Amino acid sequence: MLRVLVCAVLSVALASAELTPKEAAEGWVMLFDGETLFGWTPEGGAKWRVDRGVITPEQSESGWLRHNAAFGDFILHLEFRIPEASTNSGVFLRSAKEGAPETTGYELQIWDQRPTYKTGSLVNHLEAKRVSLTPRKWHTYEVQAVGDRFIVKLDGKTVLDGRDRKSKVGHIGLQYNKDNPCEFRNIKLKPLGLQPIFNGKDLTGWREVKTERAKEPPVWSVKAGAINVVKGPGQLETEKIWDNFVLQLDVRTNTDNPKLNPNSGVFFRGTPGQFWTGYESQIRNQYSDGDRTKPVDFGTGGIYRYQPARRVVPDDNQFFTKTIVARGRQISVWVNGYPVSSWEDPNPEGEDVRKKQAVLKAGVISLQAHDPTTNLDFKNIRIAPLP
**pLDDT tens digits, residue range 327-352?**
999 999 999 999 999 999 999 999 99
Rounded to whole angstroms, the Cα distance separating 348 from 217 reads 35
Residues 6+ apart with CB under 8 A from 341: 281, 301, 302, 303, 307, 308, 309, 310, 331, 332, 333
The fraction of the chain above a pLDDT of 70, given in percent, is 96
Report CA-CA distances (Å) from 76 to 115, 161, 226, 227, 289. Answer: 26, 15, 30, 31, 37
Q: What is the pTM of this model?
A: 0.94
Q: Which pLDDT value is given to residue 60?
A: 80
pLDDT at residue 13 above 50?
Answer: no
Q: What is the mean pLDDT of the chain?
A: 94
Of 83, 136, 91, 127, residue with least CA distance to 109: 91
Q: Which pLDDT value is given to residue 127?
A: 98
Q: What SS3 string covers 317-381?
A: CCCEEEEEEEECCEEEEEECCEEEEEEECCCCECCCHHHCCECCCCEEEEEEECCCCCEEEEEEE
Starting at the edge strand found earlier in the chain, the sheet holding 206-209 runs 206-209, 234-238, 364-369, 264-270, 279-283
Specify the 3-state DSSP secondary structure of 5.
helix
pLDDT at residue 6 above 90?
Answer: no
Cα 181 to chain centroid distance, Å, stands at 26
CA-CA-CA-CA torsion sign (313, 319, 320, 323): positive
Specify the 3-state DSSP secondary structure of 10.
helix
Q: Which pLDDT value is given to residue 385?
A: 98
Q: Which pLDDT value is given to residue 82?
A: 97
Q: Which helix (H) or strand (E) holds 14?
A: helix 2-15
Number of residues that make up the chain: 387
Q: Which pLDDT value is given to residue 180?
A: 87
Specify the 3-state DSSP secondary structure of 290.
coil
